[in-house]
Amino acid sequence: MVIEQLTKEEENKYNCFIESSIKTSFEYTLHWKNILEKNFGFKGMHIISKDTDGNINGTLPLFLAKSIFGTRMVSTPYAVYTGILAENEAVKKELLAFACNLSSKEEVDFMEIREEKESDYNNGFQMKKKVFNFSLNLTPNLEEIWKKLPKSSVRWGIKKAQSSNLSWSCGHSELDLNQFYKMFLQTRKIRGVPAYPYSYFKDIIEHFKEKVCIYTAYLSNKPVASIFLIKHKKEVRYAFAGAIHKKEIMQLQPYHFLLWEAIKDACKEGFTKFNFGGATLDTNDGGLYEFKKKWADEIVEIPSYFYLNRIKVLPMNENKFMFKLATIVWKRLPLSWINFLSPFVIKQFV
C-alpha cells in the first residue's frame, strides 16, 4: 500500500475513484477543490492510498486554511461533512497516520475531519459534535412524501404560497445568478453574517453546469426569493438561499413554495435524497435548525474529529466573540461594504 498526496499525474485515477463510489458528495471532486482554492486561497492537500496495482482505494480531502485564529487543516471548508473514503479499515488507518504526520509537517494548530457518522478513530483524536444535517428520503411516491410533512407548518406553508399568485422559474443563467445573489446578499446582511463572493457561485455554475439549478419565486414578475441547488449522483443539495425580507413577502411563504417545487422535480428526475444541509442550534438564533427540521425525515448529528498538533485544548467556540461582533457590525453596514469585505471575513470561518 502506498499513501501520498494527490499529484497532477494521479488526477484522472482520482476522478474515476470518486465517480465510482456511491458515498461521495460533490465536495470530493477536483472541481470543488479548484473552486475553494481560487475563491478563498485554501490549499488543497488531498491524500490518497493506492493498492499494489497502483489503483486508488482511499482518499481524505484536506485543505490548509490560514486565518486570524491560526492555521488548520480541515476536510472540507464550509462542508458539513467530507470524511475519509476507504475500502477497508487498514486503508483508513494509514490515511489517518499520514494526515497526522502532514499536520505536524505543516505546523498547523489542529486538523479537523468532518465525518457523516461516528467512526472508529484512534486515541489521538477527540470528537466534538456541533452541527446537524437534515435530509428527506425521496424514494416513496410524492403522495407519501407529502403525508410525511408536518400539516400545520410545512404543508400549510406550501398551500399558502400556492394560493398567493407566486410563480417560479428554474435555471442557471447569468440572470438567474444575478437575481439570486442580490437576494442572497440582502439575506446575509439581515442575519449579520458575511456572504460568499459572487465569483464563488459563478465558478460553481461554470464547473457543474446543468447540475446547478436556481429556483426563483416571483410576485408580479418581480423576484422575491431564490434557492441554489446542486445535484450530484442521486442527491439534490439545498445549498444556499436568499429572499426579499419584507413582512408582506415572507408571509407568502416563498421558501416553502420553491422547496416543494424542487422536491417534486427531484422525484420526477429519479433522485433519492433531498439534502437540506446543515445547521447548528445557534444558526440564525435557532431559526434555521427549526426550519430544516420540519422538512427532514432524517436528522444526523455530525461528528468532527480533531487532531491537536500545536494546541493542547480542543477548540471550543474559538471564534464566538468575533462572530457576535461581526453580526452586530454586519447588520449596520451598507450592502456595498458587505460585498467588499465578505471575501476576507468569511475566510476566517471555515
Q: Confirm whether 63 is domain-assigned.
A: yes
* Mean pLDDT value across residues 31-35: 98
242 with 167, same domain?
Answer: yes
Q: Which residues contact 202 (CB under 8 A, 6 or more apart)?
A: 177
Same structural domain for residues 143 and 112? no
Does pLDDT of 46 surpass 70? Answer: yes
Residue 166 lies in a domain: yes
120 and 7, same structural domain? Answer: yes
- Per DSSP, the three-state class of 19 is helix
Within this chain, do residues 158 and 248 fall inside the same structural domain, yes or no?
Answer: yes
Residue 120 pLDDT level (bands cut at 50, 70, 90): confident
Per residue in 305-350, pLDDT tens?
999 999 988 876 555 676 677 788 889 999 999 999 999 989 988 8
Residue 343 lies in a domain: no
Burial class (CB in 10 A: 0-12, 13-18, 19+), 22: exposed
Domain with 95 in it: 2-131+305-317
Q: Residue 282: is its pLDDT beyond 90?
A: no
**Percent of the chain clearing pLDDT 70 (strictly above):** 97
Mean residue pLDDT of the chain comes to 94
pLDDT in tens, 154-172: 999 999 999 999 999 999 9
pLDDT number for residue 348: 86
Whole-angstrom distance, CA of residue 327 vs CA of residue 323 = 6
Residue 276 lies in a domain: no
- Does a structural domain hold residue 288? no
Residue 123 sits in the same domain as residue 157:
no
Residues 156 and 96 in one domain: no
Beta-bridged to residue 167, according to DSSP, are 218
Tell me the CATH number at 37: 3.40.630.30
pLDDT at 314: 81
Say if residues 205 and 213 touch (Cβ distance below 8 Å).
no
For residues 312 and 254, state if they share a domain: no
- The reply to whether 38 falls in a domain is yes
14 to each of 34, 115, 137, 201, how far by Cα in Å? Answer: 14, 20, 29, 24
Mean pLDDT lowest among 215-229, 267-281, 305-319: 305-319
Domain contains 226: yes
DSSP one-letter code for 114: E
Both 145 and 127 in one domain: the answer is no
Strands (E), 208-322: 212-219, 222-232, 235-243, 273-279, 298-308
Domain presence at residue 284: no
Residues 84 and 148 in one domain: no
Kindly state whether residues 114 and 177 are assigned to the same domain: no
Lowest mean pLDDT among 140-144, 219-223, 280-284: 280-284
> What is residue 266's predicted lDDT score, i.e. its pLDDT?
98
Residue 199 region, left (φ>0) first, then alpha (ψ -120 to 50), else beta?
Answer: alpha
| 233-245: average pLDDT | 97
Pairing of strands 70-75, 110-114: parallel
pTM of the model: 0.94
More confidently predicted of 240 and 121:
240
Is it the case that residue 45 has pLDDT exceeding 70? yes
Same-domain pairing of 50 and 159: no
Does one domain contain both 151 and 256? Answer: yes
pLDDT digits (tens, 9 = 90+) for 6-30: 999 999 999 999 999 988 899 999 9
Return the pLDDT at 123: 76
Total number of domains constituting the chain: 2
